[in-house]
Amino acid sequence: MTVTRRALLVGAVGAAGLTAAACRDRKDATAPPPAADATALRAALDDERRILAAYDELLAGGATAVEVSAARAQHAEHAKALAALLAATTSGTPTAAASTGAASSGAALRQEVQASPARLRAAALTAHDPQAAVVLASVAAAHLALPPVGGSRDAWYGGTA
């Protein structure tokens, strides 16, 4: 087998590139995510707070406490994780966002929960910080897996009951 000069040069340039990439500054790995990640985390936290407020309205209106409380508890965990990560990325406590209003009915709540995975998934895919991407993707997956309140999963997500 004969190795051409071109193959040797391409291999040397590739090896040099890999060596340079491996020798990058390690403090970049611990740097806080860029402002875009903080913005995405803040938006996700605002969504969770709106969803929590809607669940609180359902509970106050006499909804079945067991179903609503279980789903609300999961959303509270999401909000807690998002707030902790946001606080770590912004070196402080996340500020309470101006409320855009909670979903005012069970149908509005379903619509909010249905729309959130697409937003969360898009934010996870564009996140620069791996931890932010993981949290956003995890919350998106959890929203898809949450059991419906007051009906079957098919009825909750637009299918037949």
Range(s) of the domain holding residue 51: 35-156
In a domain, 114, yes or no: yes
Q: What is the pTM of this model?
A: 0.67
Distance CA 137, CA 78 (A): 11
Query: How many domains, in total, are found in the chain?
Result: 1
Q: What is the tens place of the pLDDT at every residue in 14-54?
A: 444 444 444 545 455 555 557 889 999 999 999 999 999 88
The answer to whether residue 82 is domain-embedded is yes
C-alpha to C-alpha distance for 51 and 103, rounded to whole angstroms? 7
d(C-alpha 112, C-alpha 110), whole Å: 5
Find out whether 48 and 100 touch, Cβ atoms under 8 Å.
Answer: no
The CATH number given to whatever domain includes residue 76 is: 1.20.1260.10
Average pLDDT along the chain: 74
Identify whether 144 is part of a domain: yes
Q: Render pLDDT for 130-155 as a digit per residue (tens, 0 to 9).
A: 999 999 999 999 988 876 655 544 44
* 20 assigned to some structural domain: no
